[in-house]
């Protein structure tokens, strides 16, 4: 299924409704009931309202990660001892030696704006392809492509809690997209998420209904 919307909020609402209407119920390994839609693609044409998504999550009684923490996790290249993994080091210091953005994506797209090779990987088969390891990143890879003078971004998320996680993912992806676009001196364009498993846990049905009002 492909959902296209102008803004983040609009895309989120459309996708949530689609999962609730068309998804299939199942119980996950932690015994949590959810509704799932496979291979859900969401295109956001002008993802300027990415901060508003986070505001929507802050109206509930739980504590959502702060904008600062979400930003740190994507931009801090230092491995923090307390996390098993973190996105920042994988993006900016993969295996302690590769800055995938500053040493690859930016020079590549500067050199060849038509390149289709601008991809970063967050999955490390060496540590993540482990039967006993449940703590592996959900965000697998991100592809950048310049089209019509704008930097488009496509990211692949293997397991995507569409209600709780997606707003945070969008916030982080938008920040990174804007960081690269600024370095390339162009504007940020479309943001696309491909969620292999897009799901909503039933325990949040009440809050989802609140969002969809």
Partner 1 sequence: MHDIEESILNIFKNYPSKELNAEFLAEKLYPEEYKIIRELALTEDKVKLHDAKNRKFQLHRKILYYLNKLIENSILKVSRTAEKGEKYFTLQAAEGDTIIGRGYKKIIISKPTITTTDIESYESKEVMKKYGEDSWINRFNSILLECKNKGIEQIYKIISECITNVNDAIALNEFEKIINTSDVEELKRFINDISKDSDTHNKTISLIITVSETGNNFKQFIEHYSSINPRLINIVFNVGNKDVQKHSKILSYIIEKFSEQKIKINFKNMDISSAPFFKGRAGIYNFDEQEWDIYSKKYKGSIIGLVCSQSQIALNINRFFENYTTDAEFREAVLNAAKTLLLVNTIQRRKSNEYFKNINSLNQPSIAEFYHFSRNYIRFWNYDWLKDVKENDNLFELIKSSKELVDKFCHTEETIFKSCGIPIRFKIVFSSAFRNYDKKFMGDRDYKKVTVKKVEDYYVGEVKEFLHAREKMFEIMDGGDRLRIFRASDFRTQDIIHELGILLNAYKLPFFTYDFSGLKGIIKLTNFM
Summarize as ranges the residues that interact with partner 1 (CB under 8 A). Answer: 62-66, 69-70, 72-74, 78-87, 135, 137-139, 161, 164-166, 168-169, 172, 201
CB of 196 to partner 1, least distance (A): 15
Would you say 192 or 207 has its CB closer to partner 1? 207
Q: Dihedral of CA 18/140/55/49: which sign?
A: negative
Assign 157 to helix, strand or coil: strand
CB of residue 68 to partner 1, shortest distance in Å: 8
Would you call 176 helix, strand, or coil by DSSP?
helix
Nearer to partner 1, 82 or 131 (CB): 82
On whether the CB atoms of residues 158 and 140 are closer than 8 A, the answer is yes
- Which pairing describes strands 150-161 and 139-147: parallel, antiparallel, or unpaired? antiparallel
CB of 117 to partner 1, least distance (A): 24
Bridge partners for 44 per DSSP: 5, 191
* Least separation in angstroms between CB 107 and partner 1: 26
- Judge contact between 39 and 207, C-beta under 8 A: no
Q: Which residue, 6 or 143, is less far from partner 1 as judged by CB? A: 143
Angle in degrees, CA 182, 46, 160, rounded to 5: 95
Q: How near is the Cβ of 173 to partner 1 at its closest, in Å?
A: 10
Q: Which is nearer to partner 1, 109 or 172 (CB)?
A: 172
- In the complex, the smallest distance separating the C-beta of residue 122 from partner 1, rounded to whole angstroms, is 9
Q: State which residue, 115 or 121, has the beta carbon closest to partner 1.
A: 121
Nearer to partner 1, 164 or 184 (CB): 164
Whole-angstrom distance, CA of residue 14 vs CA of residue 21: 10
Strands 2-5 and 150-161, bridge-based pairing: unpaired
């Amino acid at each position: 299924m492909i959902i296209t919307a102008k803004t983040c909020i609009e895309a989120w609402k459309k996708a949530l409704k689609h999962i609730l209407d068309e998804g299939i119920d199942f119980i996950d390994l932690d015994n949590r009931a959810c509704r799932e839609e496979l291979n859900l693609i969401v295109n956001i044409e002008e993802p300027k309202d990415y901060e508003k998504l986070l505001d929507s999550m802050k109206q509930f009684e739980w504590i959502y990660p702060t904008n600062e923490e979400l930003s740190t996790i994507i931009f801090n290249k230092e491995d923090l001892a307390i996390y098993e993994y973190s996105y920042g080091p994988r993006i900016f210091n993969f295996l302690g030696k590769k800055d995938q953005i500053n040493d690859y994506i930016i020079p590549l797209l500067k050199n060849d704006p038509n390149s289709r090779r601008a991809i970063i990987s967050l999955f490390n088969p060496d540590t993540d392809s482990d039967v006993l390891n449940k703590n592996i990143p959900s965000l697998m890879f991100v592809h950048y492509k310049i089209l019509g003078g704008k930097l488009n971004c496509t990211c692949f998320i293997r397991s995507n809690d569409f209600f709780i996680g997606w707003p945070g993912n969008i916030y982080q992806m938008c920040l990174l997209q804007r960081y690269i676009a600024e370095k390339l001196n162009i504007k940020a364009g479309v943001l696309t998420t491909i969620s292999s498993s897009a799901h909503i846990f039933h325990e949040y049905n009440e809050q989802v209904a609140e969002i969809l009002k």
